[in-house]
């Protein structure tokens, strides 16, 4: 058996572990960043792709998004009480529909600068202030997380997925810069975020207004902000290593798939973090068309279930939303969006 066989076998084993173990092991899910870092180190070793440049990239690429998460977290901590009071006053003055529209559209579009993590924290605060029935608020949260997850991709500051995609495409032939994803996906993502905001604003409130809505578990502490920034740093560094380590596997198997097949395969993102899948799949050898199918598939399906992306995980945790509650809303909305976008991609 030749070296390539053992390399591919090892990488397939690592990819299987990355995709399945966090889903079945609560301990690994809780320590996901460290687990992915170990898997990234193993993948690069199996691929024999270690270099000084890779080490520098793994150390440097996470810095910008980590700093953005940390600074935005500090600012948000100081503004959270004012945000709650402002939402309550605005709702009384103009009604809930404009507030819901502005929340979903504003956080969805701003998440690319304020980061998806801080946008999700702001969403939890706003929902806690609305005080509507739980069933209605769960729908708003899920739709808003679709918007945040999609909007955050527009800059490398928004979320780990966009950070890792830019890192992998910054060389030839794309030479991806800060606005690369905005130019490629903006015409798709921005109308989708605004459409989701309109849909959320016109949801019907079931029953009478009550106080039995979602409530945030506890305010942010200084330690929470610092620890979250550290976890983001480790997470992105791990994705850089995984992305490089899986290169032989991607070039051997995924490049031969059609864009449509890859789009639907990426519904795996509903149960597996979409940034991890992006790290495993994206390569500069893909065409722009294939990258567009790949990324939109990841972004949309990532909102369907709680593990799919970071905003889902944060909001579900802080507002105590159960997996079944999320799935009842996220799965039908996600499937509808997948079908709509697939039709548009094929048409345009």
* Number of C-beta neighbours around residue 183 at 10 A: 11
Using the CB atoms, write b or e for 26-44: b if 16+ within 10 Å. eebeeebbebbbebbbbbb
Q: Exposed, middle or buried, 288 (CB in 10 Å: 0-12/13-18/19+)? A: exposed
Contact predicate 126/152, CB 8 Å: no
Separation between Cα atoms, residue 275 and residue 223, nearest integer Å: 25
Judge whether 21 lies within some domain.
Answer: no
What's the pLDDT at 209? 47
What's the pLDDT at 207? 56
- What is the token pair recorded at 76? 């948000």
Q: With bands split at pLDDT 50, 70 and 90, how would you rate the model's confidence at 206?
A: low
- Give Rg (Cα) of the chain: 20
Contact predicate 127/319, CB 8 Å: yes
What's the pLDDT at 114? 87
Which residue range(s) make up the domain with 80?
A: 50-347
Place of tokens 């395969």: 265
Which residues are CB-contacts of 201 (< 8 A; sequence separation ≥ 6)? 97, 98, 100, 101, 104
Place of tokens 């997850």: 149
Place of tokens 């989701």: 196
Separation between Cα atoms, residue 157 and residue 229, nearest integer Å: 13
State yes or no: pLDDT of 8 exceeds 80. Answer: yes
Separation between Cα atoms, residue 40 and residue 44, nearest integer Å: 6
Among the listed ranges 45-49, 157-161, 288-292, 314-318, which one has the minimum average pLDDT value?
314-318
Average pLDDT over residues 219-225: 79
State yes or no: pLDDT of 210 exceeds 50. Answer: no
- Per the rule left: phi > 0, alpha: psi between -120 and 50, beta: everything else, 118 is alpha
Strand ranges in 266-321 using DSSP code E only, listed in sequence order: none
Judge whether 40 lies within some domain.
Answer: no
Separation between Cα atoms, residue 224 and residue 3, nearest integer Å: 45
Q: What is the pTM of this model?
A: 0.83
Judge whether 214 lies within some domain.
Answer: yes
Tally of domains in the chain: 1
State yes or no: pLDDT of 91 exceeds 60. Answer: yes
Judge whether 182 lies within some domain.
Answer: yes
Which among 4-8, 60-64, 181-185, 213-217 has the top mean pLDDT? Answer: 181-185
Model confidence pLDDT, tens digit, residues 150-182: 999 999 989 999 999 999 999 999 999 999 999
The length of the chain, given as a count of residues: 348
Judge whether 293 lies within some domain.
Answer: yes
Judge whether 17 lies within some domain.
Answer: no
Average pLDDT over residues 34-45: 91
Judge whether 118 lies within some domain.
Answer: yes
Judge whether 115 lies within some domain.
Answer: yes
State yes or no: pLDDT of 219 exceeds 70. Answer: no
Determine the longest span between alpha carbons in the chain, in angstroms: 73
Contact predicate 225/142, CB 8 Å: no
């Amino acid at each position: 058996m030749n070296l390539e066989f053992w390399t591919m076998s090892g990488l397939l084993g690592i990819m299987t572990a990355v995709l399945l173990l966090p889903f079945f092991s609560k301990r690994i899910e809780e320590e996901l960043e460290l687990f992915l870092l170990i898997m990234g180190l193993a993948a690069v070793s199996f691929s024999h792709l270690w270099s000084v440049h890779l080490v520098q990239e793994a150390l440097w690429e996470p810095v910008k998004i980590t700093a953005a998460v940390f600074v935005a977290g500090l600012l948000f901590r100081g503004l959270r009480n004012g945000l709650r009071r402002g939402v309550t006053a605005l709702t009384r003055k103009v009604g809930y529909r404009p507030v819901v529209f502005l929340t979903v559209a504003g956080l969805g579009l701003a998440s690319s600068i304020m980061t998806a993590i801080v946008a999700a924290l702001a969403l939890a605060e706003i929902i806690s202030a609305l005080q509507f029935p739980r069933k209605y608020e769960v729908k708003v949260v899920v739709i808003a997380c679709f918007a945040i997850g999609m909007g955050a991709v527009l800059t490398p500051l928004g979320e780990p997925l966009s950070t890792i995609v830019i890192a992998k495409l910054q060389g030839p032939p794309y030479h991806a810069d800060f606005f690369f994803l905005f130019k490629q996906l903006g015409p798709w993502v921005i109308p989708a975020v605004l459409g989701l905001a309109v849909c959320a604003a016109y949801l019907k409130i079931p029953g009478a207004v009550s106080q039995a809505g979602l409530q945030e578990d506890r305010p942010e502490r200084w330690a929470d902000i610092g620890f979250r920034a550290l976890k983001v740093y480790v997470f992105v560094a791990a994705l850089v290593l995984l992305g490089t380590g899986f290169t032989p596997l991607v070039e051997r198997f995924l490049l031969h798939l059609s864009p449509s097949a890859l789009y639907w395969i990426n519904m795996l993102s509903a149960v597996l973090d979409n940034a991890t899948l992006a790290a495993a799949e994206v390569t500069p050898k893909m065409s722009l068309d294939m990258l567009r199918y790949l990324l939109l598939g990841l972004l949309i399906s990532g909102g369907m279930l709680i593990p799919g992306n970071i905003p889902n995980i944060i909001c579900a945790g802080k507002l105590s939303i159960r997996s079944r509650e999320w799935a009842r809303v996220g799965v039908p909305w996600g499937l509808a969006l997948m079908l709509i976008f697939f039709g548009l991609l094929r048409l345009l």
